[in-house]
Amino acid sequence: MGTPTHCLRAITLRTDFSFCHYLEPKFPNYFFKLNKKPFSLSLSSSLSSSTLSFSMPYERELAAAKKAATLASRLCQKVQRVLLQSDVHSKSDKSPVTVADYGSQVLVSFVLERELPSVPFSIVAEEDSGDLRTESGQDTLKRITDLVNDTLANDGSYNVSPLTNEDVLRAIDNGKSDGGSVGRHWVLDPIDGTKGFVRGDQYAIALALLDEGKVVLGVLACPNLPPTSIGSNQLQSSSNGVGSLFFAKVGHGAYTQALDGSTQTRVHVTDIENPEEASFFESYEAAHSLHALSSSIAEKLGVKAPPVRIDSQAKYGALSRGDGAIYLRFPHRGYREKIWDHAAGCIVVSEAGGIVMDAAGNPLDFSKGKFLDVVAGIIVTNQKLMPSLLKAVKEALNEKASSL
């Protein structure tokens, strides 16, 4: 509920109340600016009660997203524990995708729909149900359905009858939205870093919300990232299996807590100014990012420490709490970045005081559909290091171009 200032403002707003009532079925939430911070005004569904209630924007959405990502990580942790080579299922693009990818997408879609029933629902997600609708996909589909039902039963928060195969296919296909600059769209990578997942290393469940093309909240569940700093060069999977959850809401900072639900703490990117003291993250997979280009940039900057190679958006999470200072990602020619690979990580790092840009210094634009068109690559660091990082990137790219 609101503070006295909120209440005063509420009285002022009552003059417009009949107008709001008129609009209510179409627009259940209204957004205003109070002391320069946006807040939402929710109207009760009963027109006769004339009740106004206040909530900080995106609070319910953030709670739902945390719940969804946490439940999905339980499913992924279970699969990773018993992962056999036979769980890897070949998609037409030949990238490995597991029962856990689909299961995670189903759970996130299920939880968001249940937790936020009254709002229009749109998700831009990585997986689709095509392969699972074929004859040869039926075994996999049954395993996904069983896995999702097991996870829901163990959690016990939802008193629903077990999902059918059809429910599962429908939940996966909720993710078919195109996103864009109008309205709200969830953005989901059900397992980011599939290769790390299959190897038993780092991966993330990455969920963000776009509102009018801007990322307004993000949650990164990193089941194998220890809740304490990994420091440079000492990356190990979480030994106790707890993992880390990172989350951020626009204008409200970034936070972390252990995936088992311990107290949350605010995170900040490192305040290192001297590049010699900086360490940098990059993809574990050389096929995902040009390691030689990153090395050349690091050398120009004077970075002394060798790169810390981690799969997935766990890199954004680790950077947001100061485990490293720079993240460099330069995909091979022809690869187009997708919004689900960066939306959650981008808001977590930005709210922790960092900056995420493309190699030309442009902010990332998530409003153009599922693709993220960037110049050359993505660079992430703190405010102080960004100017020298951009300069080093520019020089390294010029050298690379002239050597071709």
Ligand X SMILES: Nc1ncnc2c1ncn2[C@@H]1O[C@H](COP(=O)(O)O)[C@@H](O)[C@H]1OP(=O)(O)O
Instruction: Convert residues 126-165 into a mask of x (bound to ligand X by CB under 6 A) and - (unbound).
Output: x---------------------------------------
> CA 114 to CA 158: how far, in whole Å?
9
Instruction: Convert residues 225-264 into a mask of x (bound to Mg ion by CB under 5 A) and - (unbound).
Output: ----------------------------------------
CB of 203 to ligand X, least distance (A): 7
Dihedral pair phi/psi, residue 10, rounded to 5°: -60, -40
Residue 283 as a binder of ligand X (CB under 6 A): the answer is yes
Query: Is the distance from CB of 256 to CB of 274 less than 8 angstroms?
Result: no
> CA 381 to CA 142: how far, in whole Å?
43
41, 61, 110, 126: residue in contact with Mg ion (rule CB under 5 A): 126
Name the CA dihedral angle for 340, 266, 225, 293, rounded to a multiple of 10 degrees. 60
Query: Is the distance from CB of 147 to CB of 101 less than 8 angstroms?
Result: no
Q: Which residue has the tokens 């040009």?
A: 290
> CA 365 to CA 350: how far, in whole Å?
14
Secondary structure class of 97 (helix, strand, coil): strand
> CA 25 to CA 28: how far, in whole Å?
6
Indicate the annotated binding residues: 126, 189, 191-192, 341
Six-digit token string for 137: 């996909």
Our CB check for Mg ion shows the closer of 173 and 189 to be 189
Reply yes or no on whether 194 is catalytic: yes
List the interface residues with Mg ion, window 156-195 (CB under 5 A). Answer: 189, 191-192, 194
> CA 29 to CA 310: how far, in whole Å?
40
Q: Which residue has the tokens 């864009």?
A: 180
77, 194, 256, 320: residue in contact with ligand X (rule CB under 6 A): 194
146, 167, 285, 395: residue in contact with ligand X (rule CB under 6 A): 285
CB of 105 to ligand X, least distance (A): 11
Residue nearest to ligand X (CB): 283
Task: Compute CA distances 310 → 96, 126, 131, whole Å.
Answer: 18, 20, 29
113-121, 151-159, 185-193, 345-353 -> range binding ligand X (CB under 6 A)? 185-193
Query: Is the distance from CB of 302 to CB of 276 less than 8 angstroms?
Result: yes
Residue 193 as a binder of ligand X (CB under 6 A): the answer is yes
C-alpha 390: how far from chain center: 25
Indicate the annotated binding residues for Mg(2+): 126, 189, 191-192, 341
> CA 2 to CA 200: how far, in whole Å?
46
List strand residue ranges (DSSP E) for 126-201, in order.
184-192
CB atoms within 10 A of CB 3: 10
CB of 57 to ligand X, least distance (A): 28
> CA 122 to CA 56: how far, in whole Å?
22
Active-site entry in 70, 98, 101, 201: 101
Residue 311 as a binder of Mg ion (CB under 5 A): the answer is no
Instruction: Convert residues 92-111 into a mask of x (bound to Mg ion by CB under 5 A) and - (unbound).
Output: ---x----------------
CB of 129 to ligand X, least distance (A): 16
Residue 61 as a binder of Mg ion (CB under 5 A): the answer is no
Reply yes or no on whether 134 is catalytic: no
Residues contacting ligand X: total by CB under 6 A = 17
Active-site entry in 98, 151, 194, 270: 194
Dihedral pair phi/psi, residue 392, rounded to 5°: -65, -40
CB of 328 to ligand X, least distance (A): 11
Our CB check for ligand X shows the closer of 247 and 330 to be 330
Residue 312 as a binder of ligand X (CB under 6 A): the answer is yes
Residue 341 as a binder of Mg ion (CB under 5 A): the answer is yes
7-15, 269-277, 282-290, 296-304 -> range binding ligand X (CB under 6 A)? 282-290
**Angle CA(400)–CA(401)–CA(404) in degrees, nearest 5?**
90
DSSP state letter for 375: S
Give the footprint of Mg ion on this chain (CB under 5 A).
Answer: 95, 126, 189, 191-192, 194, 341
Active site (catalytic) residues? 101, 194
Give the footprint of ligand X on this chain (CB under 6 A).
Answer: 95, 126, 189, 192-194, 196, 283, 285, 287-289, 311-312, 331, 335, 341
